[in-house]
Every structure is written in structure tokens, then in C-alpha cells.
Chains A and B, each alone.
Chain A
Amino acid sequence: MPNVKPPARRVTTYKIVQGIIGVVLAGYLIWRLFVVFIANPSYGPDTWARFAIAGLILGSVYALVAIGYTLVYGILRMINFAHGDIMMIGAFGGYFVFEALKSIPTPTLADPELTFLNAHPVLSVIAAFIVGVSIAALSGYFLEKIAYRPLRGAPRLVPLISAIGASIFLENAAQLLFGAQRRDYANPIVLTRGEGWGIPIGGSNVILTYTGVLTVVISTLIMIALYLLVMRTRLGRSMRAVSENKQVAALMGIDVDGVISRTFIISGALAGAAGVMWGIHLGLVYHFVGFIPGIKAFTAAVLGGIGNIPGAMIGGLFLGLVESLGPAGLGINFQLKDVIAFGILVLVLIFRPTGIIGEVLTEEKV
């Protein structure tokens, strides 16, 4: 059915409220930027660089997780609210690999105390990724099979409720299995948190941490690989076909359920990689570790236009940057960075529910 457009440019209360909020916010933002940069500059360029680097690292993790939301939404038109918990499972996978390798003695003449973790840091990190990614991919697969597949064809709210249930279940299961305490990720010594290359900026040394660089590089590689997978391979093409029209996809001989399974495996794998990087870079893992990044990544996906893969990538980076530059820019407490992220979510949903990147071509248009 064609959209029934209201008669030209009617001014509704909703639009007036939108406009007022917009003007107030824009005014506040301009005033703050004026204060922070011109009237009363409280931070030097080195501090801003530190914030930007932190934001970039955080943003690349959000981007990976956001892609998972967007892939699943694109194919099932549902928000997989348990996605953050799949990330948590991946983080635990990497954690236990490091713990296990830490306890394998690999003595040398120079250092009789040496463990496998420090003797072979590259292999150890690779092993952590392989295990974290695989276990998260597997969890994604079973999550769909158990919590969503039986509800195929049910009203849209039903799988959403099931997703929230699955999320609560996974968090509690992890707490039961691993306890509620926060555990320290035992990185190999070469990846000691906080250490890195020093870059002189504005008279002081800004540290580019090894773990941060690792995070950004790996995220970027994974995103490139994913983009190629979706755009260039047979599986990617079938995923795009299923996301547009499941019935016609079946008429092409595509096993729709199989493609849905693979989509969950892929988004689980991305979340798993994000979880391992989260652990390596930020250091802590516990049963609730996926919750906040999960919601942030969801925000990023909405920001980029849910269902839109490049949108999720850009949305993730944007959110990471805004969140770490925002408190300083707005002159508010740094504890309030989460408020900024969720404030953005609310604003996007009010002003542009289709995301900031612009709309995707919908089937209705055809």
C-alpha cells in the first residue's frame, strides 16, 4: 500500500516539541564548545588525543558487536537482546584460555619460571581468539535454535520477550558457573595493559597502548572480512536475499533456516572476538560484562540505521568517540558517559528512527 501522506507540512505538536528540543540542544552544544575551546580551555591537545584514542578503541569494539545486532535484525527483523551476553561468553572463553596457558610451565635456561603464555604470546592470543570466537559462535547458533526458531511466525513482540529471557538466563548461568566476582584477564606480559608506544603531543607523552592497537587492528580486519563476505560470497548473497524476502529466497533454492543459523553463527563470532578484545584491553570479565557494551552496540546499530552494516560500523566508532570526548566537551562528570550514549539513543529514536546514515531501500518501494 502506498504511504498515505498527511496534507502538505502540517505542524503537529510532536514536530514543535521536536523543534524545541533540537534548538535547545544545539544551543547548549554550541555554548559548551565555545566555553571548552575558546573561553576557558581546560584541556590541552594531549588530553584530547587521549580521549580520542580511547574512543576509537572502544568504538571499534562497539562496531563489531553492533554488526551482530544489525545482521540479525536484517534477517529476522528482531533485536537479539541476548547478543551482549554472547560477547560475555566469548570473553570468558579467552579468559580461560589465558588461565590454562598461564599454568603450563615452559621453562628455559634464562627463565625457569616461564609459562606458555609468556613464552608464546602470539600463539596464546591466537588460541584465546579461536576459543572465544568459536564458543560464542556456537552459543549464537544454539541461542537461535532454542530461543527463536520455535517462535518463527509468532507476532514480533514474542521473540523479543524470548530474547530478554535468554539474556537473563545466560547472565545467571554464567554467574552460577563462574561466580559473581570480577576476574582479571591474565594477558601475556608483552600485552600488559597500559603499556604502549609513547607519542609526544602538546609537550607530553600520549600512550598508544599495545592492547588498544591490537583491538583496533583486529576489529578493522574482521570488519573488512565481513564486508567482503556479505558483498562478494555466495553465502553473503544468500543472506542479503533472505533479508529481503524469505519466500522468494526459498524459491531460489536457498535453505532459509540454514542461512538464519549461519547469520547467528557469524554475529556470535563477531561478538566473541569483541569479548576477547574487551578482556585483553580493559582487563575485567564477569557475568555482566556484556550488558553495557551490548546496549551501547545496540545504540550504535540504531544510530547507523538498524539492518545497515556499514551504518553499524560507523555508528559504533561514532558512539565510542562521542562517549569518550563527550564528558570533557560538555563539561560533565566522566561517570556520566553512559548517560551520553543513552541520551543519543533516545534522541535518535525521537528524531531519526531510521538512523543517521539514511534510509535503506525498502521492499515497499518496489
Chain B
Amino acid sequence: MAMLEVKDIHTYYGNIHALKGISLTVEQGEIVTLIGSNGAGKTTTLRSICGLQKPRTGSIQLNGEDLNSYKAHQIVSKGVAMVPEGRGIFARLTVAENLDLGAYTRNDRTAIQEDLERVFTIFPRLKERQRQVAGTLSGGEQQMLATGRALMTRPRLLLMDEPSMGLAPVLVEAIFDVIKAINKEGTTILLVEQNALMALSIAHRGYVIQTGQIVLQDTAANLKNNETVQKAYLGIE
């Protein structure tokens, strides 16, 4: 049984039919990437999974359990965390408070402390900035905070929406290294990226989404060599 199984979901914003029958699966331990151009429906797919934008039809199952009847805040405690598009940090709260909120649903104090140490090992910068108001962090630091905060939920499935957006190339490399490391430690990852080349180089499998539909799915290596993908998303003629 797949960890995440999305079956034929249709998601709307009012009258706008954003997802027209998306199906995808993510196996335990995988990094799966979802690539597609602007407005294709990548963010909407993630929002459907984590409950922020409920699909009108279709089903989403996590380890065989249907998520449809759960609200967004309940899905978190099922082990699904999201690093939202644009980071979504709480700008007026301190770095430490942002990280604490990641552990909002947990009460295993020692494990929370362990996870905090782990986040600080991955992102030493956050440790230095603990008392700082998050709105004053640089863009890269905010991305670290958003990722660290998601890790504090101790997710089994981590949804990441364009973690490399707006970062300098060095930082992009660093963030992708972190994603690989998090995955090695056992967290399953569904990664949405504009930077398709980078995404495909760390992912196991990928899906290509176009105007609300999956048009292609394959292993990451095959997608990288696929002519259509190269033309449309990798900038290779």
C-alpha cells in the first residue's frame, strides 16, 4: 500500500476548475516531484492533500485512511506537514516561537527537544537567531525557518512547495542537500519545483502536471531524458 494515494481529485476555486482529475501515489521513503508551468495546479494539489482546499470529488488516502473527513489542522497530526509556497512564516513571532508552533500538536517534551536540536544542527543559523522576530530574517533564513518548522511536526510525509524560490544558487544547492538528508533520515517527500532539473536530480520519481491534469509520469532519470520534458521544463532544445 502506498503511503499517499491521490485518486482522481477535482478541486475548484469557486467556479475555477483548477484540478481536473489528478491521480498520484507516493511510496514510503520516496522523494516524488511534481513539475509543471505556472498555474498548472501544483500548489493546488498540495493544498488539496493537506486539507486547505478540499477536492470536490475524488479521494486522498494516507496509509489507506481516507483524509476527506479531516480538517486541515487534523491532518497535521496524521503526519503530513507542508512548507507552503512563499514560506508562510509568522513574521511577528520570534524564530523560537515559529519553531514551537511546529510542535503545536505534540506533547512529548523530550522528543520535541530532540527535534529542535536536530533542526538547529541542520540550520545552525536558526539557533543564532532564535530570539529574533522572524519578519526580519533574510529570504534564505525564512526558507530555513519554514522547513525547520515543518520538521518540528515530525512529519512522515513532507509537502514542499517551491523551496528554492527566490534563493541564490548556493542556497538552492544547500536546500536541496537538506531535502536529500531529511529524506535519508526517513521522511517521505512530495516536492513541487520550478527548478525541474534540480528536482529531478534528487527525486526518485516525478509527475508532470499541465492545466490541472497529469500528462506524464516516470522515474526521475527517464523524465530527465524525456524530450518533451527537456523542451518544456529543462530549457534544453
Q: Do A and B bind each other?
A: yes
Q: Which residues of A contact B (CB under 8 A)?
A: 234, 237-238, 240-241, 244-245, 247-256, 360-361, 363, 365-366
10 intermolecular pairs with C-beta atoms under 8 Å apart = A244-B90, A244-B91, A247-B52, A248-B89, A251-B52, A252-B102, A252-B153, A361-B92, A365-B135, A366-B89
A366 to chain B, nearest CB (A): 4
B143-156 Cβ-contact flags toward A at 8 Å (1 or 0): 00000010001000
B84 touches A251 (CB 8 A): yes
Contact of B113 with A by CB under 8 A: no
B168 to chain A, nearest CB (A): 18
B21 to chain A, nearest CB (A): 25
Give the contacting residue for B88; candidates A237, A248, A253, A254; CB below 8 A. Answer: A248
Give the contacting residue for A240; candidates B77, B93, B105, B135; CB below 8 A. Answer: B93
B84 touches A253 (CB 8 A): no
Residues of A within 8 Å of B100, CB to CB, are 237
Residues of B within 8 Å of A256, CB to CB, are 73
Residues of B within 8 Å of A234, CB to CB, are 104
Residues of A within 8 Å of B50, CB to CB, are 251
With both beta carbons as reference points, the residue of chain B lying nearest to A231 in the complex is identified as: B97
Residues of A within 8 Å of B101, CB to CB, are 237-238, 241, 249, 252, 254
Q: A248-B84, A251-B76, A251-B88 are in contact. Are A366 and B104 (CB under 8 A)?
A: no
Residues of B within 8 Å of A237, CB to CB, are 93, 97, 100-101
In Å, the complex CA distance between A237 and B81 comes to 19
A241 to chain B, nearest CB (A): 5
Residues of A within 8 Å of B73, CB to CB, are 250-256
A361 touches B133 (CB 8 A): yes
A247 touches B88 (CB 8 A): yes
B153 touches A253 (CB 8 A): yes
Residues of B within 8 Å of A244, CB to CB, are 90-93
A366 touches B91 (CB 8 A): yes
B142 touches A366 (CB 8 A): yes
In Å, the complex CA distance between A167 and B88 comes to 36
A361 touches B91 (CB 8 A): yes
Contact of B112 with A by CB under 8 A: no
In Å, the complex CA distance between A254 and B104 comes to 7
Identify the 8 closest CB pairs spanning chains A and B, nearest first.
A253-B105, A253-B76, A248-B88, A250-B72, A366-B91, A252-B101, A250-B73, A252-B104
Residues of A within 8 Å of B131, CB to CB, are none
With both beta carbons as reference points, the residue of chain B lying nearest to A251 in the complex is identified as: B82
In Å, the complex CA distance between A150 and B87 comes to 30
B52 touches A363 (CB 8 A): no
Q: Which of B62-113 contact A (CB under 8 A)?
A: 71-74, 76-77, 81-82, 84, 87-93, 97, 100-102, 104-105
Q: Kindly list 14 other residue pairs between chains A and B, CB separation below 8 angstroms, not including A361-B91, A361-B133, A366-B89.
A: A240-B97, A241-B90, A241-B101, A244-B91, A245-B88, A248-B88, A248-B89, A250-B52, A250-B72, A251-B84, A254-B101, A360-B92, A365-B91, A366-B135
